[in-house]
Amino acid sequence: MGRFAYTAALTVAAASLAAQTEARGSGTLVIRAARIIDGTGAAPMTPGIIVVTNDRIVSVGSTIPADAVTARVIDLGNTTLLPGFIDAHVHLIGRTLGDPAGDDAPVRDFDGFAAILGVTNAYKTLMAGFTSVRNVGAPDFDDLALRKAITSGFVVGPRMQAAGYAIGITGGHCDENGFKPGVADNDYRRGIADGQDQVRRAVRYMAKYGADVIKTCATGGVLSEGDAVGVPQYTYDELKAMVDEATKLERKVAAHAHGAEGIKIAVRAGVSSIEHASFLDDEGARLMSEHHTYWVPTFSAGEAVENAVKSGALKGLRAEKGTAAAAAMRNAGQYARRYNVPVALGTDAGVGAHGTNGHEFTLMTIWGGLTPMQSIVAGTLNGAKLLGWEKTVGTLTAGKLADIVAVSGNPLDDITTMEKPVFVMKNGVIYRNPGVPSAPLP
């Protein structure tokens, strides 16, 4: 091949890559099941029939419209059709809790290794029925890279919001700690910011590189070294500066907060959601209700930490913190229910195993005291509202994207069926279907 022909071939190849887009459905399809739970909290519709054209829902009802009678029909039998599930707290990038190399990963893993793991984690998440997620923090902007790979069609995974680096104080839960000085000393460009000016700069930096949401650590955490799990780590003024800057840049702030005082500081500062809220108390729940601050419980993380302590994978101070936080989580729901605090499903996947996200529906009923229907709404419509995507996903409504999941039987009778979807569609494309091999990992 001559030099000019070779150059032209490269140009065509580059243009093809640049033009690649995520797969979307084509044609009209009728999906039939025993019932529909549409995500709004309304009673189930029986039977359930959804018509999809290309990547959109055309109609939702109990009969096939006249203009769709000749369309291909998928009959899912005694199943329930639901909106694609939404996980508002995941960490798709990197290793999971219990990985023996996890503690040393920041200084031993090659750059890009964590992002490669994210490809498989994203696939597992989608196949679990979660068609949308909010990834709240990742090193090296790897979550933004994964988001681009998914939207560009190179990787199969859920629709993503990404945060880039989580923002926290020096030596706090969002900092890489436990190493000797000089190994992991970071600044605002890697999410470590002290004082109002640095905090504003960090927000601007994350937004510059495409963060959809700002994640912060308002209190200590379980898996970090050297801090107490519930103590506040940012002052009100620092968090208010963060929220103000994020608001100007049209971003919401998600605040990791375990301790009661840190929760209250973050809510008063105007964050959109409190992640975990393990030690939530009566006053904190009342404030969250007044400010319409979402609670993202992450019960799955509490259970995973308890299991890690029992197996010996988690020891010392982190085991003590994890045991205390997981125990407290079981009490937080009573305060949230008392004041009708809005709840959005979040698993903290990465602490627990990816692909098991649906177990959070079960834990929200057992640990959180929600009804099965409330649990379902938390993982569909409420998640969409928190992410600001309620106009396109979160309910089975004509005109919205065709994100549809089916589970066996009726989840209102057995919420554990949400853990094993039998049918998964995103953007009108079927990724899981009974009796048909699942879409392969690219």
Q: What are the tens digits of pLDDT across the range 119-170?
A: 999 999 999 999 999 999 998 999 999 999 999 999 999 999 999 999 999 9
Looking at 83-92, 209-218, 308-317, which range is the least confident one? 308-317
Q: Are residues 166 and 76 part of one domain?
A: no
Predicted local confidence at residue 102, as pLDDT: 63
Q: What is the dihedral of CA 209, 215, 220, 221, to 10 degrees?
A: -100
CA nearest to 405, candidates 37, 64, 133, 60: 37
Q: Are residues 220 and 188 part of one domain?
A: yes
- Which of the four pLDDT bands, split at 50, 70 and 90, describes residue 229? confident
Q: Are residues 240 and 101 part of one domain?
A: yes
Q: Is the pLDDT of residue 12 over 80?
A: no
Q: Are residues 250 and 286 part of one domain?
A: yes
Q: Is position 148 within any domain?
A: yes
Report the CATH number that the domain containing residue 418 is assigned in CATH.
Answer: 2.30.40.10
pTM comes to: 0.92
Number of domains in the chain: 2
Q: Is the pLDDT of residue 198 over 60?
A: yes
Q: Are residues 170 and 61 part of one domain?
A: no
Predicted local confidence at residue 440, as pLDDT: 61
Q: Are residues 327 and 239 part of one domain?
A: yes
Q: Are residues 377 and 252 part of one domain?
A: yes
Predicted local confidence at residue 8, as pLDDT: 40
Q: Are residues 197 and 112 part of one domain?
A: yes
Q: Are residues 409 and 359 part of one domain?
A: no
Predicted local confidence at residue 16, as pLDDT: 46
| Full residue range of the structural domain in which residue 236 is found | 85-387
Q: Is the pLDDT of residue 329 over 60?
A: yes
Q: What are the tens digits of pLDDT across the range 176-190?
A: 667 677 767 788 899
Q: Is position 118 within any domain?
A: yes
Report the CATH number that the domain containing residue 368 is assigned in CATH.
Answer: 3.20.20.140
Peptide bond preceding 297 in cis form (omega within 30 of 0): no
Q: Are residues 152 and 98 part of one domain?
A: yes
- What does the alpha-carbon distance between residue 315 and residue 310 come to, in Å, rounded to a whole number? 9
Averaged pLDDT for residues 284-301: 98
Predicted local confidence at residue 283, as pLDDT: 98
Q: Is position 186 within any domain?
A: yes
Predicted local confidence at residue 138, as pLDDT: 93
Q: Is position 412 within any domain?
A: yes
Predicted local confidence at residue 100, as pLDDT: 64
- Which of the four pLDDT bands, split at 50, 70 and 90, describes residue 439? low
Averaged pLDDT for residues 402-421: 98
Q: Are residues 332 and 210 part of one domain?
A: yes
Predicted local confidence at residue 30, as pLDDT: 96
Q: Is position 18 within any domain?
A: no
Q: What are the tens digits of pLDDT across the range 365-379?
A: 999 999 999 999 999
Q: Is position 318 within any domain?
A: yes
Percent of the chain predicted with pLDDT > 90:
76
Q: Is position 117 within any domain?
A: yes
Q: Are residues 280 and 138 part of one domain?
A: yes
Q: Is position 14 within any domain?
A: no
- What does the alpha-carbon distance between residue 76 and residue 91 come to, in Å, rounded to a whole number? 32
Q: Which two tokens stand for residue 142?
A: 């790897």
Q: Is the pLDDT of residue 438 over 80?
A: no
